A and B are shown apart, each in its own frame.
Chain A
Amino acid sequence: MKTIKLVINRKELEVPAGTTILEAAKSIGIRIPTLCHMKLEDLHYENNPGSCRICVVEVEGRRNLAPACKTECAEGLVVKTYTPRVMNARRVIMELILSNHPFECLTCSKNGYCELQAIAHDLGVREVRYPGEQSVFPIDRGPSVVRNRNKCIMCRRCETMCNSIQTVGALTAVNRGFRAAVSTAFEKDMKGSTCSYCGQCVSICPVNALSGRSNQQEVLDALDNPDKITIAQTAPAVRVALGRDFGFEPGAPVTGKMVSALRSLGFDYVFDTDFAADLTIMEEGTELLQRLTRYLHGEKKEKIPLMTSCCPGWVSFVEQHYPELTGNLSTAKSPQQMFGAIAKSYFARMLGVEREKIVVVSIMPCLAKKYEAGRPEFSVNGNPDVDISIYTRELTRLIRYANINFEELPDSDFDRPLGESTGAAVIFGTTGGVIEAACRTAYELYTKKPLGPVDIEALRGMEGIRSATIDFDGLPVRIGIAHGLGNARKLIEEVKNGTSPYHAIEIMACPGGCIGGGGQPFHHGNMETLRRRASSLYRADKEKSIRKSHENPYIIRLYKDYLGEPCGPLSHQLLHTHYFDRKKTVGISDETNKED
């Protein structure tokens, strides 16, 4: 490979051709601040418009300052990243950004996690010498995402995420000059846009222009209400991400402390969404086998491939962009909704209370789950199966709010019966996990033989689109997997064109699956954080004594005592759903939105 010699801050170095000054500097430990630039190599995400100009450096012989993120190293280049001219420019640019940014740091939910704040601090900005007119945009409180364009710094990371990676096309730059901002088509609110509520824009926004809708107060009110029985359910991806903001290593599993924290907050029962994940496998696995059997027996009307339906961002994407293909979606509800339905029927009966007395709070890595919980079909007489959905960062805030010393909490176990889960459920939190769990169960149900090695490595990995053929004792079942809606679009286009080779497809809207959800602690562009969360989930799966959903004793009892059989009449009533054509009417009405 061709290499290039250059000098940065009087240090000589050699880098491969094509390396930018930013990357070269990083390789020798020089940190040049960046705002708009963001690269998530595993996801093929790169936002590099070279527009914020905070990374400018001096290059000898060049008339003006060079953006380090966009300037490739050239032979003999002499670069200075720290001179009075550079530092003055960076400070002025920072002051300009701040001059059009609300000074609300102390009351902003991004306080302490804000990249703009961090760089302003590093630059030692103590005053804004260039104050002036500020942008005034109305705040748009959507079902999952809150947009405060007054805080937008036009880095365009969200635009790249929404268009290039997710191919949703909800966000784009509008207007020009000082009035330029990222917005939706015709500057409608998010509800009126093509937004799928995945929340990926929130997860990469350096400031708080995009944030998740907050429902913390509703949780506190429910916990404070003596007439209510409060039940928490926690999604698999939360336990390997929550620790980060309390000083644990990225990916460190903090399941036991999380359960203790929820008890300390005052929840009457702390259950696990993983239980419902096992239930999902029972229903979805059975549905797959039924559909596949009918299909293989020549019923060509049968919709194959079966597409998973546990991701609400994905479901919303199909309803909006491919309504003609909703028939391919599994009718099984997502684990969050299955849990709510069971908690308010089976468990309510066990407690001998009306469903209205129970408040189900889900703790999710996800912003779309808020939207999903609010879908009217997931309620009985106006009482929702899941009352409140909060995301991981909201739980962090609640723990801090309630004076809980998370780091020193003892570990404790989930309550029974809805807290027991298998390894198959744990891996729901990462891409490929749902279909692996389904295969473990479907294989044994179909072949009536025990599965050899439980780990189906062929389904794992971080590539955006993966495929594998699993041998069901002579029946080759072809599986497709995609994470990120852009990759999902490629698979669903094949389905639309009739060229899809698969029998079953797993889709997760967020890159990496739920571990990379829009409600997770910010990764700030560090891919390693996502990788560690994934491997942590696979480790937790390995450490479980039971690793197949159909072997979960509490699931077996649930069917025996209550549901009957998978995909039976009661299951259909409680655990299955239907979909809508939302091509023209996008969004739901909601009056109780709050800014994050």
Chain B
Amino acid sequence: MNVVKTLDDLICLRDSLDVFPGSDHPAELVEIKISMATCGIAAGAKEVNRYLAALLEREQIPAGIVQTGCMGYCYAEPTIEVTLPGSEPVVFGYVNNARVDDIVTHYIRQGIMPEDAVWIKDRIQTDGDASPRQLHIALRNCGHIDPENIDDYIRADGYLALGKALTQMTPDEAINAIADSGLRGRGGGGFPTGLKWQITRRAEGSRKYVVCNADEGDPGAFMDRSILEGDPHTVIEAMVINGYCTGADKGVIYIRAEYPLAVERLKVAMRQAKAYGFLGERIFGTDFSFDIEIRYGAGAFVCGEETALIHSMEGERGEASVKPPFPSEKGYKGFPTNVNNVETYANIPAIILKGADWFSAIGTGKSKGTKVFALAGKINKVGLVEVPMGTTLREVIFEIGGGIKDGKKFKAVQTGGPSGGCLTEKHLDLPIDYDNLLAAGSMMGSGGMIVMDEDDCMVAMAQFYLDFSVEESCGKCTPCRIGNKRLHEILQKITSGVGEESDLERLRNLAMVIKDTALCGLGQTSPNPVLSTMDNFYDEYIAHVRDRACPARRCRKLTRYFIDPEKCTGCTLCSRACSVDAIKGERKAPHVIDPILCVRCGTCFDKCRFGAVYVH
């Protein structure tokens, strides 16, 4: 491996790299990509890989297998993409060994789609032509390249942006490009990235730092992990560019220790980048030197807040401190520190290469580019998607996400995780951008999107998120430390069926005060799930406290199970399944549930074949 010293070196290198180095007839190879991010591996991708490789060898099929990062189809893992010579790529989902047999025998050997193969038809191309809805910029390489092979990244124009910035642009020009693109922080706050870089550049300090915030902690969010597992080089490249622009010579990636695969792939990528000279001394033959080290977070949600993150890096207790001073002025060890999140970085090389105008043409007035969302909850196609800003929630949930599971009715979607709010039916046609979500009482957050259906109780949902915030509060400021605990207790009281109407007023007042007085972003936003569900589903709260009923029948202590004597056939299935012997009745005679013994587990409801058990 030779050190790349000029931009031309890099372009030559890119053009000389083969997809399958060492193969005599690469054009005749079947190209197979296996999605090997954490989710794919958890679903069995390693076994599929092993089986497939052995099978291809046994059958003597000329093929090359590439282990890629996440393709985005979490619902259908393991997924593989097969490209027959001269054909369009085809993605198969729910792959197991039996299906591998089918795919090899029918599709690879004969070009015939196997009958029961799950064929994912909406494979997104980087340019967005293939899918009308998605546009991959941050995820442009995820699922396409081998994250552990820098040559794959270089073939996809990797490190070209770095070369361009270092050899053809001044730091100010590069910062202007980022500023003009309109890119805003993807970690949640939405602060203009170019401005942040400018502040760090102008801040006085004998040295400066560049930090990548990879402490992704929202429940149900996995955008950053997927990028790091699928395309680690893009983050490294962006950090070097950031260092060049801000005057830092040192970068730190603060990553959760719970992301071992991402850490491993980052380490491999850093090693490779160093070997090519993209990290280290005199990068691209210039005077600029830059190095990166990895720091591990211990899994505290609050350490995703930049001041808490910096304290944690310094070896201090991970808790937020009052801003100003902002890290850009006074951060790590007191030096100006530029903190950006993984997804933000993933956009940088594309902007530098394609220009600010290209990027700012995508999106809405004040929110440019795309946003990655992790779709989760009661949605058919759980997965990772990237859409242009301005796409509506309806398009994301119903068109890309395939609608609600089991044909149920959509009820709400939580964006922004525990800091966000829930949006309802009336918000479905809202174009997604920073300002619209904020105005609707939620926030962009880092990109978690959890979909709820008619079976979800919104009070219980608020309680769930508060539970998270109570656990993850650092305990520094009073409103967050004690206030969130009290919010949670009031919600618990309401979902336990002992709430009173006066509790609702207390709940709202306390939530407002916490929002108004908490020290950091975590505390200030933690009441959002309560406030937004109160705004949008006040009738559910009223039902809980006034009628002592949970309309979604989720709050156990507020539900009661009955058996309709008209429908009950006396089959005894329910009474035999009841673990507390609460169901009495003679064989072939209608049964009755003893409400005192019943623990409302719902087993009888699930067991009954005649629809005789009902909930009220």
Is B475 a contact of A175 with CB atoms below 8 Å?
A: yes
Does residue B12 face the partner (Cβ distance < 8 Å to A)? no
Is B513 a contact of A88 with CB atoms below 8 Å?
A: yes
Does residue B321 face the partner (Cβ distance < 8 Å to A)? yes
Shortest CB–CB separation between residue B219 and chain A, in angstroms?
16
Interface size, chain A (Cβ < 8 Å): 35
Cα-based distance from A49 to B475 in the complex (angstroms): 12
Cα-based distance from A100 to B474 in the complex (angstroms): 17
- A45-69 CB mask vs B (1 if < 8 Å, else 0) is 0000111111010000000110100
Mostly helix, strand, loop or mixed at chain B's interface?
helix
Residue of B nearest to A53 (CB): B517
Given contacts A53-B519, A178-B482, contact A92 B476 (CB under 8 A): no
Is A50 a contact of B519 with CB atoms below 8 Å?
A: yes
Partner of A180, one of B476, B489, B516: B476
Is A93 a contact of B517 with CB atoms below 8 Å?
A: yes
Is B300 a contact of A93 with CB atoms below 8 Å?
A: no
Question: Which of A103-111, A126-134, A481-489, A538-546 is near enough to bind chain B?
Answer: A126-134
Contacts of A72 in B (CB 8 A): 324
Question: Which of B112-120, B236-244, B465-473, B603-611 is near enough to bind chain A?
Answer: B465-473
Contacts of A67 in B (CB 8 A): 322, 519
Cα-based distance from A46 to B484 in the complex (angstroms): 28
Shortest CB–CB separation between residue A59 and chain B, in angstroms?
12
Contacts of B513 in A (CB 8 A): 88-89, 92-93
Is A180 a contact of B474 with CB atoms below 8 Å?
A: yes
Mark A residues whose CB is within 8 Å of B: 49-54, 56, 64-65, 67, 70, 72, 85, 88-89, 92-93, 96-97, 99-100, 129-130, 132-133, 153-154, 172-173, 175-180
Is B473 a contact of A178 with CB atoms below 8 Å?
A: yes
Residue of B nearest to A98 (CB): B482
Closest 8 CB pairs of A and B: A180-B475, A177-B473, A96-B482, A50-B322, A92-B513, A130-B486, A70-B322, A132-B489
B465-510 interface with A by 8 A CB criterion: 470-479, 481-486, 489-490, 506, 509-510
Shortest CB–CB separation between residue B333 and chain A, in angstroms?
17
Cα-based distance from A568 to B489 in the complex (angstroms): 71
A-B contact pairs, 28 of them (CB 8 A): A49-B321, A49-B322, A50-B322, A52-B478, A54-B478, A56-B516, A64-B516, A88-B513, A89-B516, A92-B483, A93-B478, A93-B483, A93-B513, A96-B483, A130-B490, A132-B486, A132-B489, A154-B475, A154-B476, A172-B317, A176-B472, A177-B474, A177-B475, A177-B481, A177-B485, A179-B475, A180-B474, A180-B476
Is B478 a contact of A51 with CB atoms below 8 Å?
A: yes
Contacts of A54 in B (CB 8 A): 478
Shortest CB–CB separation between residue A49 and chain B, in angstroms?
7
Contacts of B321 in A (CB 8 A): 49-50
Given contacts A50-B519, A53-B519, A177-B471, contact A133 B479 (CB under 8 A): no
Indicate the size class of the contact surface on chain B.
35 or more
Partner of B510, one of A92, A100, A133, A154: A92
Mostly helix, strand, loop or mixed at chain A's interface?
loop
Partner of A49, one of B476, B490, B516: B476
Does residue B524 face the partner (Cβ distance < 8 Å to A)? yes
Is B477 a contact of A53 with CB atoms below 8 Å?
A: yes
Max chain B C-beta neighbours (<10 A), residue from A51, A52, A154: A51
Is B517 a contact of A89 with CB atoms below 8 Å?
A: yes
Is A53 a contact of B478 with CB atoms below 8 Å?
A: yes
Is B478 a contact of A154 with CB atoms below 8 Å?
A: yes
Does residue B515 face the partner (Cβ distance < 8 Å to A)? yes
Is B506 a contact of A129 with CB atoms below 8 Å?
A: yes
Cα-based distance from A153 to B516 in the complex (angstroms): 20
Contacts of A173 in B (CB 8 A): 317, 319, 475-476
Shortest CB–CB separation between residue A579 and chain B, in angstroms?
33
Residue of A nearest to B474 (CB): A176
Is A178 a contact of B470 with CB atoms below 8 Å?
A: yes
- B515-526 CB mask vs A (1 if < 8 Å, else 0) is 111110000100
Is B517 a contact of A178 with CB atoms below 8 Å?
A: no
Cα-based distance from A389 to B319 in the complex (angstroms): 40
Contacts of A130 in B (CB 8 A): 483, 486, 490, 506, 510
Is A56 a contact of B517 with CB atoms below 8 Å?
A: yes
Contacts of A178 in B (CB 8 A): 470, 473, 475, 481-482, 485
Cα-based distance from A50 to B479 in the complex (angstroms): 12
Cα-based distance from A67 to B302 in the complex (angstroms): 20
Cα-based distance from A70 to B520 in the complex (angstroms): 13
Cα-based distance from A54 to B479 in the complex (angstroms): 10
